[in-house]
Amino acid sequence: MPRIPYVPADIAEPREIVDAIRARRGGTLLDLDRMLLNSPALAAGWNTYLGAVRTQLTLSPKLRELAICGVAILNRAEYEFKQHSPHFLKGGGTPAQLEALREFERASSSTLFDASERAVIRLTIEMTRNVEVRDETFAAAAKVIASEQAMVELVATIATYNMVSRFLVALDIHART
């Protein structure tokens, strides 16, 4: 059980916020949403911001989901990993790559991943473990990412999903089996 109770799954108010979250989620509320709705203002901002990160950036969906899944594994946020695994596969990741992500730090040298993917893995590790990123790690990622815009988006995605995973872990929100 989470450390703070979820709001009811059939919550209807505040209607504008609940409806916006349901619209982004295809009609349902995830446990994450039900926790966030303990603070409607937080839930509204989160929904808008995470919606943009997930659907409005130029960053490749595969690299975005690779970074998100990596953050989830590094921070032991199984809920996040389970939510994003299907998106990684849909973005072009393979089942073998997905399995390799379970040992994320070893994945940075795996031949299952190409040079751009390995650079994203290394950047994700450094941002998540150390916060500070070595110049050579940043340069390697910037070399393989399509543009400065996409690089900013990658860094923001890694930072954002570190926030998400820390929220999930601190509140003890787990993936249901």
* Residue 74 and residue 47 share a domain: no
Query: Residue 127 CB: number of other CB atoms within 10 A?
Result: 23
Tell me the pLDDT tens digit for each residue of 8-67. 999 999 999 999 999 999 999 999 999 999 999 999 999 999 999 999 999 999 999 999
Q: Quickly state the pLDDT bin for 176 (edges 50, 70, 90).
A: low
| pTM, rounded to two decimals | 0.95
Domain CATH number, residue 143: 1.20.1290.10
Q: Which domain holds residue 47?
A: 15-55
pLDDT in tens, 110-157: 899 999 999 999 999 999 999 999 999 999 999 999 799 999 999 999
In-domain check, residue 8: no
- Are both 85 and 161 inside the same structural domain? yes
**DSSP H stretches of helix in the chain:** 15-24, 31-36, 40-55, 61-74, 78-90, 95-100, 104-107, 115-129, 135-144, 148-170
